[in-house]
Amino acid sequence: MKLDTSGLESFSTLTAPGDDVAGEFSAPPSFQLPNSNDFDGFVKEAIQMVKPAKGTTTLAFIFKHGVIVAADSRASMGGYISSQSVKKIIEINPYMLGTMAGGAADCQFWHRNLGIKCRLHELANKRRISVTGASKLLANILYSYRGMGLSVGTMIAGWDETGPGLYYVDSEGGRLKGNRFSVGSGSPYAYGVLDSGYRYDLSVEEAVELGRRAIYHATFRDGASGGVVSVYHVGPEGWKKWTGDDVGDLHYQYYPVVPSTVEQEMAEATGA
Amino acid sequence: MARYDRAITVFSPDGHLFQVEYALEAVRKGNAAVGVRGTDNVVLGVEKKSTAKLQDSRSVRKIVNLDNHIALACAGLKADARVLINRARVECQSHRLTVEDPVTVEYITRYIAGLQQKYTQSGGVRPFGLSTLIVGFDPYTGTPSLYQTDPSGTFSAWKANATGRNSNSIREFLEKNYKEVSGHETIKLAIRALLEVVESGGKNIEVAVMTKEEGLRQLEEAEIDAIVAEIEAEKAAAEAAKKAPPKET
């Protein structure tokens, strides 16, 4: 059983014809099974080990002028903050973005792989792949690895012929179409701010600010989120990075320190 | 020379793949098929050998659907056609599943041509003995297309083309008389082209029209007869007009 590296290798030679009715439909990829008496238990343990690691906050929402995608930049391993400057918004191609939540390696690799597949689709069909199609390609791959320990909670956002598109895809094999999503341990806090501030007819600047504020509030309350807030906007011409502010700076921007009025100055104790 | 035609995988010294050429011969013996592209529709016409009295003519449809918006007609070995059509139909649905989009005409033509080419470069198999005419509308742009593939696995787009028996004469006729037309005129042009090599009558021709709104529609025998009559009348009028001017000088 082999890993699916079809995106990486050059065009293989022709296989014998008349294989199976589906013809060009490639066989699903698979891992070697571990040597274990209790396979189910082992798999459950593996999943539990990985689960808490979706320590992150990412969000995306569709509005009148396109899609806003925002994320923090902290990577944590349990209680240890391993990095404050991780790029969690992955540029699949000039008009499509993916967000990273879960296993960093899994997200990075499969987004790169998706980028390759999108480009091949463009070359073969002389037109760009739709956000629907790209998210479906990723979801099908993740579904075939279901139960094998991949941890991916990603949103695919982009602008195609039918307008702005946003899909949530995860390693359980789920794929959802929607207007507003937030993924990660900080997502409940982000949802609070996002949902109460959302309007379809926001201007681009207002929408960017909403995304930034939502991520900031999530980093304030969630220990596994922090670092720098990145906000991207995807419009008809493609994506553009808008902000990359440190959440510490943002905190004092939103809540500037007010020197408290002193009622009684402490005087030097005199002798007695 | 005879030594180089037994196995498909062998080139002859002067660069021929004889099996592929023999496959093209098989196509040349098949029923004539013609395709004409209009501005808002595409028409396929196929020569029909007269059906035996006891045969159920509905089971020998020569123009088939690959999907709601794509149709195919072919000339050559009909049994090979069945296999190719089934594979193409599966691929149309598979594409819908993986990218949530219907196939474009070019994509499915490329797939069928790729399949035909595979069988010219493998051991122990022979090529498919058929050329296909593939018509349809692209799902988003809505433009009509007509493509042709052949046993060697090449394909290209055409404004009008013919394959099968006497395809050269039909093509010559089309080259002389093709005009970008639409609707009823496209159907008439296709039938006129086919009548060059087929005895006239609705019994010997099968015609189908593909439009964006309705998809594929097979024409009834009565309809075809009516159009044939129209064509005959036009021809007679043209003959009469030719004879008239000399009288006036």
Which residue pairs, CB below 8 angstroms and at least 24 apart, start in A91-94? A91/A239, A92/A118, A92/A134, A92/A156, A92/A158, A93/A118, A93/A119, A94/A238, A94/A239
Residue B80 burial class via C-beta count within 10 angstroms: exposed 0-12, middle 13-18, buried 19 and up: buried
Q: What's the sign of the alpha-carbon dihedral B214, B33, B190, B116?
A: positive
Question: Percent of chain A, pLDDT > 90?
Answer: 50
Q: Are A194 and A158 in contact (CB under 8 A)?
A: no
ipTM score assigned to the predicted complex = 0.73
Q: Name chain A contacts of B106, Cβ cutoff 8 Å.
A: 125-126
| Residue A12, min C-alpha distance to chain B (Å) | 13
3-state SS, residue A251: helix
The label of the residue with tokens 């990273």 reads A100
| Residue B89, min C-alpha distance to chain A (Å) | 10
Q: Does B111 touch chain A (CB under 8 A)?
A: yes
Which two three-digit tokens encode residue A162?
């039918």
Q: How far apart are CA B200 and CA B225, in angstroms?
A: 9
Q: How far apart are CA A88 and CA A100, in angstroms?
A: 5
pLDDT tens digit sequence for A117-131:
999 999 988 888 899
CB within 8 Å of chain B, chain A residues 144-183: 161
Q: Are B232 and B224 in contact (CB under 8 A)?
A: no
What does the CA dihedral B118, B121, B123, B126 come to, rounded to 10 degrees? 70
pLDDT tens digit sequence for A255-272:
888 888 777 777 777 665
Q: Does B116 touch chain A (CB under 8 A)?
A: no
A56: annotated active-site residue: yes
Q: Which residues, in sequence order, are bridge partners of residue A125?
A: none
* Among A13, A15, A56, A261, the one annotated catalytic: A56
Enter the pTM of the model: 0.77
Q: How far apart are CA B231 and CA B185, in angstroms?
A: 11
- Nearest by CB to B122, which of A16, A129, A140? A16
CB within 8 Å of chain B, chain A residues 16-35: 16-18, 21-25
What distance, in Å, lies between the first and last C-alpha atoms of chain B? 63
Residue B164 burial class via C-beta count within 10 angstroms: exposed 0-12, middle 13-18, buried 19 and up: buried
pLDDT in tens, chain B (249 residues): 556 666 667 888 888 888 899 999 999 999 999 999 999 999 999 998 777 778 877 777 889 999 999 999 999 998 999 999 999 999 999 999 888 889 999 999 999 999 999 998 888 888 999 999 999 999 888 899 999 999 999 999 999 999 999 999 999 999 999 999 988 999 999 999 998 888 766 678 899 999 999 899 999 888 888 998 998 898 899 888 888 765 555
Q: Does A96 touch chain B (CB under 8 A)?
A: no
Residue A4 pLDDT > 70, yes or no?
no
Altogether, the residues listed in chain A come to a count of 272
Q: How far apart are CA B67 and CA A232, in angstroms?
A: 40
